[in-house]
Amino acid sequence: MNVRIEGQSLRFKITEEELNALLDGHSVHVKVELLDKILVATINPAGRGENMEPKLVLDDNEAYLNLLISPSQVQALSDMSPSREGIRQKAGDISVTLQVDMPEACYA
């Protein structure tokens, strides 16, 4: 998983293997060490409703960036033909995008 934080936008880019894990109901995560802190970004496919919900939880030595997404949204992402667009939504003032990283040859 690759997470980009830029201004008021979050972009989560996952692999096909991570998409399959989400389809099976499993969370995927990545852990990044920043100086003396750790950032853990997680996508959890146990959301309800139709909106992706980003949450930030801060601890003494760790920060957790959690994206809650519904199984139906994971399925919709899977059903899309290879596309650079992915699923994009607003969550308050934040723009959230979830994309599947596909080989260049897959894009039309």
* SS3 per-residue string spanning 55-103: EEEECCCEEEEEEECCHHHHHHHHHCCCCCCCEEEEECCEEEEEEECCC
Residue in 74, 89, 86 with CA at minimum distance from that of residue 9: 89
Structural domain count, the chain: 1
Range of the domain at 6: 2-106
Share of the chain above pLDDT 70, in %: 93
The model carries a pTM of 0.88
Q: Tens digits of per-residue pLDDT, 38-89?
A: 999 999 999 888 889 999 999 989 999 999 999 999 999 999 866 778 999 9
